[in-house]
Amino acid sequence: MDFTSADCALLLIDVQEKFLGPIPAIASDQPVGRNCRILVEGARLCGVHTLASEQYPKGLGSTLPHLLDHIGDAPRLAKTHFSCCGDDALAAAIRRAQRGWWILCGVEAHVCVLATAADLLAQGRKVVVVGDAVASRRDDCRDMALQAARDLGALVLPAETVLFRWLRQAKGDAFKQVSALVR
């Protein structure tokens, strides 16, 4: 588990308006929504390359506002494939990022997150699925997806582990700001 902020990219997958009803855990005041926001903010503070995918945004809406407020100028790319590696523009953005480690959060854990993890692993990349920053409509589907991701070779870690791994040490302004995020 030797990933650093320089060799990582964060991929926020499909945390969109129309998913809020069936997946209330992604709301800003709920654990998954909060952890996605913390990861997006932490990535910005630590200089981690970030991408966001939006599954068919014409029908499912945009990325949730509580994440848009913090995503900055990170590209948001539309897709219709379940895997982020399936659509040409998003796959090209992943290739251009030239990162060995991909940190995944978002929805749905058993569909788009797992399909993306499997494809990234098949390309020889290393993957972390942030277990407390992914959700599905059903908890059992999320749990099975996390186990399947482990079985495929992904690490499943909590958001705080990822953040402090990016920081590497308990000093400096970024540490103070990230520490404030997780309190």
pLDDT averaged over every residue in the chain: 96
Strand, coil or helix: 137: coil
> pLDDT tens-digit profile of 117-174?
999 999 999 999 999 999 999 999 999 999 999 999 999 999 999 999 999 888 888 8
pTM recorded for the entire structure: 0.97
Over residues 59-80, the mean pLDDT reads 95
Per-residue model confidence (pLDDT) at position 146: 98
In angstroms, the CA 20 to CA 69 distance is 17
Reading the block at residue 31, the tokens are 């654990």
* Residue 177 pLDDT level (bands cut at 50, 70, 90): confident
Q: What token pair was written down for 19?
A: 């998913």
Euclidean distance between CA atoms 76 and 92, whole angstroms: 13
Amino acid residing at 47: G
Q: Is 90 exposed, middle or buried (0-12, 13-18, 19+ CB in 10 A)?
A: buried
Q: What is the DSSP letter of 160?
A: H
Enumerate domains of the chain plus CATH numbers.
5-182 (3.40.50.850)
